[in-house]
Amino acid sequence: MSRKTIVLPDDFIYAMEYDVLYTDVNSANHLGADRVLPIAMEAQLRFIKLLGYQNATAFEDAGLIMVHSEIQYVSEAVYGDRLKVELAIASIEDKSIELAYRISHLSSNCEMARILTTLLFYDYREKRAMVVPHTFLQAIDGSKTPLPDQT
């Protein structure tokens, strides 16, 4: 079976640190595959809050719906490992944004996982996809320079 490689952008604009919790570890004693996406979503929420939004679900009448995700597992992590989660904007379309994440071990700088998510802006009242809000685009544009690591 061929293995897909997620190609990451060159520039990451946000980073945070994450400690692997006991609840993240599975019966094989390493970070569970089902825990990698929630860790990326935590970085997404912190990034959006850093842009000035109160939460990740309301942007001037728009909600965010994850419509696609991909995860490439590179190496394992175990309980207590300190990870660096980096976020980049891979692309912005008319009604969606694609975010890329790189998770690495802080101690060895060894890459642990790569993630891509596509988020659709959605009007819950009208029950339809909507154009990316202009003020959100402005906030993203203002964050093109790397933001400081957040812990």
Confidence of residue 1 (pLDDT cuts 50, 70, 90): low
Residue reference for tokens 């060159």: 10
Contacts with 70 (C-beta within 8 Å, 6 or more apart), sequence order: 4, 6, 115, 116
In a domain, 5, yes or no: no
Q: What is the mean pLDDT of residues 138-150?
A: 65
Average pLDDT, the chain: 90
Residue reference for tokens 């379309």: 93
**What pLDDT is attached to residue 124?**
87
In a domain, 7, yes or no: no
**What pLDDT is attached to residue 151?**
46
In a domain, 112, yes or no: yes
**pTM exceeds cut of 0.85:** yes
In a domain, 2, yes or no: no
In a domain, 88, yes or no: yes
Q: What is the CA radius of gyration of the chain?
A: 16
d(CA 103, CA 59): 27
Parent domain of 44: 14-142
**Residue 138: both structure tokens together:** 């402005």
In a domain, 80, yes or no: yes
pLDDT tops 80 at residue 144: no
Q: How many domains does the chain have?
A: 1
Q: 63-73 and 111-123 as β-strands: parallel, antiparallel, unpaired? A: antiparallel
Q: Can you give the CATH number for the domain in which 82 is found?
A: 3.10.129.10
